Structure 1
């Protein structure tokens, strides 16, 4: 069906409004429209404009009208014609980026111990490319249509096999759901739980703070439960009135505590007695250095535990690949919630990751990364002991971060601020307390750093602490 002509026509490749019943010639209207968009900063430097033939066809004009408009704008210096027959916005005419109302951003720290940053420079590009090529060459056309809300069969099969083998889960492809990282999976889960009658979420105290606002927005109360050396305090959990609890059992964030076998059994018993649910965030269990692997809690009670995993720490957070293993009664509601939210995660990424896992490339990548991260961990711990011995790290046996408690005569605010003035990003523990009432400490993420940066960073921290001591 042809497009109906009106007095105001928008070009699909270049939005320009033309008044066909006006007194201004069309080529001048086109000139003015392009000129105004360049002046407003809406067409940036070096943006390629449509060809005269394509724009003329799209706007229903003769090609000569578009040619005349382009030539005039070239003459005025707004456009430049390039070899090969294409036209671009002239850099000299484009509005400077700083004049577009953008706010100045503070310079990032030169050395940054921010948590949750893996070494993305080690992303296995060659192996990933092989999987992409295989998927593009061999995947049936219908696989690129709309998916089941749970995600691509191939990825759910590959991940179920991997997690059952490596993490001791009890997963089947039917009870798995693929999501855009833990962020989306947890948000959808909390919304579904609130809609089905759950009322109070217990979180470890301290713990990652991002999920609390999501839980409150979903209509859940949030309560903190203390973390002991053996994991979450189950007695305090029982007194909290919670009917769902979020735990990081394999490597508690941020303390690094490992949930003991006794605490795991007590958690499962609590869930059974209260008809409650455990959400197990297995965010970095693949990285362990000084201890034997500990299986996922989900394998102990598949109908009482939601298992959450992600490729963000193991491959790259930008992939936005996450997965949930769900109790059977949640599969339907969660699948419907996923479809309603975004119609499913990108299928090409899912199929590529499925092949990557099935061919053993995921295992090979993890075997390659563990010693790299262990060297960084060892360097961080040894430099802290040598240069800032009053900061004693805990939770060092696994993961991509360590935590230190602060002595009473050092405050988080003072240390982090003074460090930032030296170009060092150091982060306090206070935001992770549910009530902001716990002792002060520092959290060091080291995954995205080099050995040299770790050494230099701890040297800057030592200078920072020394300067604060001297002013006492």
Structure 2
């Protein structure tokens, strides 16, 4: 029997827009609740003047409520002078009651799903990173590498239109060297995006545009090393790629175990680390959400002098659970926040962003200047246009539907071909993880699958500590037919591997 506990197919029960979740609202009070949340967001700056609100039909569908409730809420805000309807341009914020320091967003949900308890079989250590890089570069007929979005869905026509509009309005002087922290237009657009989708209140001047999260990690490591920091704790399991980047800059990466509630903060507190890198909204690779109690413990650890590097790598992609607020929204002075469009559009753009506490900002910008003088301006301005026009939001909704279909195909294939595997992290993201409750050699299994044209990540690549063996499987970039074929191939390889192991085992006396 398959023991998947995160692969439901129900509603999302909320929307990333302002982290709204109507689940706990009393019956009959939806319009009051929604109006109050929107009014608060306007007053705190999460919805700056000029922001276009979601269409009533769209927001109602996301929240699973009547369109009339949303319409009534918008009407109340219009009567208050906060918003105005502009026909096809939508409903736009035009007024504010003044700013406050209130932070909005639902209380972090308790993780309701359980991953399997670690067994006695240890994943092999990924000490030889050269093997990882070599295998990663090998082409495959069906590539299930995690972290890759649906590249075929890149909005080429919309990008070309945006680029043309940018070029037509660009002054000659704007083709020169710009601010190494990024173009003002993109920093403004990202600030609005983060306020609306991740609950983070930040101004354009707080942002640093970087060449993806990978560069952000490198810049942070350099700045911290200059301050005498020589180790950054990481989640375990945790991204081998991130660990490589940290180690490249001379950082030690002590592992902090992750269980079905997220990072074990008590282990972190007892370690020597003063800095930790985490993926709290959707842990890589298990998909666990850092639960409410652990989140509070981690925030307290940071408030006591620790520093958190928050990798918010794919929080926008979720299917069967409510939105999860970013840690940065709760403790801005002790969290360095990173994100990018690699999972939203394509890694090829190499555009990401970073929010750092004031005491690190100038040093990070200085390091960015020395690294490359700043990201290319034209792609930044084109992305800003996509964000401001609402095209990026439309693209996100489009790929979510495709990703959900492919996720469902992978879950069905695993249940059919690998019925004893446990599925983790299928409620969100671009990948899921499966674990086995036996002595399967996941590296050998991945190698066997690659020999038959299917590329996957063995879970052990992402482990420093003993952990149940398994595979990390990306689904966003493949069709349902390809996914089904790939899982069937993996199942065949696993059967063959177990036969080989059994045939070479010494007979019982």
TM-score by length of 1: 0.75
The 8 Å contact of residues 276 and 308 in structure 2, kept in 1 or not, is answered as yes
User: 1:106 offset after TM fit, Å?
Assistant: 8.8
Aligned mate of 2:315, from 276, 285, 296: 285
**SS of residue in 2 equivalent to 1:256:** coil
Q: Whose Rg is larger?
A: 1
Corresponding residue number in structure 2 for 1:441? 470
User: 1:147 offset after TM fit, Å?
Assistant: 1.6
Corresponding residue number in structure 2 for 1:80? none
Corresponding residue number in structure 2 for 1:460? 489
Please list the CA deviations of residues 302-352 of structure 1 after superposition, one character each: whole Å capped at 9, or x if unmatched. Answer: 111111001111100000001001111111111111111110100001111
Which structure 2 residues correspond to residues 242-253 of structure 1 after superposition, within 5 A? 242-253=273-284
Corresponding residue number in structure 1 for 2:417? 387
Which structure 2 residues correspond to residues 37-186 of structure 1 after superposition, within 5 A? 108-186=139-217
Q: Structure 2 vs 1, CA of residues 107 and 305 (structure 1 numbering), >3 Å: closer, same or farther? A: closer
Which structure 2 residues correspond to residues 217-366 of structure 1 after superposition, within 5 A? 217-273=248-304, 275-366=305-396
**SS of residue in 1 equivalent to 2:370:** helix
User: Paired residues, what number?
Assistant: 367
- The whole-number CA distance in structure 2 between the counterparts of 1:358 and 1:255 is 33
User: 1:447 offset after TM fit, Å?
Assistant: 1.3
Q: Structure 2 vs 1, CA of residues 341 and 416 (structure 1 numbering), >3 Å: closer, same or farther? A: same
Aligned mate of 1:374, from 397, 404, 427: 404
User: 1:461 offset after TM fit, Å?
Assistant: 1.7
- The whole-number CA distance in structure 1 between the counterparts of 2:437 and 2:474 is 20
Q: Structure 2 vs 1, CA of residues 422 and 217 (structure 1 numbering), >3 Å: closer, same or farther? A: closer
Task: Select the structure with the greater relative contact order (CA < 8 A; seq sep ≥ 6).
Answer: 2
The 8 Å contact of residues 209 and 431 in structure 1, kept in 2 or not, is answered as yes
Is 1:404 aligned to 2:434, yes or no? yes
Aligned mate of 1:205, from 233, 236, 252: 236
Q: Structure 2 vs 1, CA of residues 108 and 221 (structure 1 numbering), >3 Å: closer, same or farther? A: closer
- The whole-number CA distance in structure 1 between the counterparts of 2:427 and 2:459 is 19
CA RMSD of aligned residues (A): 1.7
**SS of residue in 2 equivalent to 1:284:** coil
The 8 Å contact of residues 256 and 394 in structure 1, kept in 2 or not, is answered as yes
- The whole-number CA distance in structure 2 between the counterparts of 1:454 and 1:209 is 24
**SS of residue in 2 equivalent to 1:257:** coil
Q: Structure 2 vs 1, CA of residues 106 and 222 (structure 1 numbering), >3 Å: closer, same or farther? A: closer
User: 1:412 offset after TM fit, Å?
Assistant: 1.0
The 8 Å contact of residues 238 and 285 in structure 2, kept in 1 or not, is answered as yes
Please list the CA deviations of residues 80-124 of structure 1 after superposition, one character each: whole Å capped at 9, or x if unmatched. Answer: xxxxxxxxxxxxxxxxxxxxxxx9x99622112111221111100
- The whole-number CA distance in structure 2 between the counterparts of 1:217 and 1:184 is 12
TM-score by length of 2: 0.70
